Amino acid sequence: MSLKRAFTISISGKGGSGKTTVAVLLLKDLIERGERDVLIIDADPASNVPSALGIDMTGKMTLGKILDKKKRELESPAQPYTKLLEGEIWENIIEHEGYDLLVMGRPQDEGCYCIIENLAAAIIDSLAKLYDVVMIDFDAGFEHISRRVDRAADVLLVITDQSKMGFETARRIVKLVEKINISFRDIYLVGNMFTEKPEKRLIDFTEEIGVKYGGTIPYDQNIAEYNLKGKRLIDIPQDSPALKATKKIFKRIFKE
C-alpha cells in the first residue's frame, strides 16, 4: 500500500439527490482502473452503501455500535478516542476485492453522534496514510461540514438533483465551507438524475456560487431497476448512461 497521503473525496448534498449512487459509481470506476488502494467510508447514519455494494454486515460492527460497546471507557477516557477504538475499527473494516469499507452508523444514544463526527476527522487523517483514495459518503445536508469532519478532504463533490431544494442546499453548503474556512483543493457541483434541458441551468448556477462544474449524470433506468430489485449497484452494466457520465466526471476530477 502507498504510504503517501490519500486523495480524499467527500460527497455531500440534499437527501435523495443520489449521493450514495454517485459514490458507488465512482468506486466502480476506481476498481476497474485497478491503480489505487481505495477506502470508502459510509458516514451516513442510514448506511446505504453496504446494500448498494451487496455487502452483508453480519459479524461486523459500525462505529456507532463500537461506541455503544465502549461507552463506559469513553466517558472518562485514559487515552485519546482514536487510540481507544483503533483495534476495534481495524477489526470492522470490511476488506473486499478492489476496496475496503468502513461503516460509521449511529450509536443508540442519539446525543453521542457528535462523538462519531469528531472521530471521523481523526480516523480519516489516520487511514489516509494507508490508502491511495479515501471516499466519504456523508449524510444529507451539510451539518457535518460545520463540525469540520471534512477537514482532510481534497475534493468536495456537492450533488444536486433538479429540484429547487437541491440547488439551495448546494448553495448553503458552499457558503458554509467559505464561512468556516475549510480548505478544499476543489469543489465541484454535480447534477444527478438530470435531463438535458436543465443542464445549462446547472452550469450557470455553478458559476453563480463560485465552484467548478463537475458534470451531469442522467436519469438511468438501469439504476432504478437495480434499486427496485435490490441488486448490487456496483454490478451495473458498462453501457449504463449513468456510469458513462460518472467516468467523465472521474477524468475531470483527477486530471485537474
Determine the pLDDT at residue 81. 58
Taking Cα atoms as reference points, which of 89, 128, 101 lies closest to residue 40? 101
Proportion of the chain above pLDDT 70, given as a percent: 78
Determine the pLDDT at residue 3. 43
CA distance 209 to 97: 39
Read off the pLDDT band of 222 (50, 70, 90).
very high
CA dihedral 220, 135, 119, 1 (to 10 degrees): 150
Determine the pLDDT at residue 181. 67
Determine the pLDDT at residue 244. 95
Supply the pTM of this predicted model: 0.85
User: Is the predicted pLDDT of residue 115 greater than 70, yes or no?
Assistant: no
The string of pLDDT tens digits covering residues 30-65 is 998 886 789 998 988 788 999 999 998 888 888 777
Read off the pLDDT band of 1 (50, 70, 90).
very low
Determine the pLDDT at residue 148. 56
Read off the pLDDT band of 72 (50, 70, 90).
low
The string of pLDDT tens digits covering residues 90-105 is 888 899 888 999 988 7
Q: Where are the domains of the chain?
A: 7-45+120-255
Question: Which residues make beta-bridge pairs with 177?
Answer: none
CA dihedral 212, 138, 177, 196 (to 10 degrees): 30
Domain 7-45+120-255 falls under CATH 3.10.20.30:
no
CA atoms within 13 A on the CB side of 146: 9
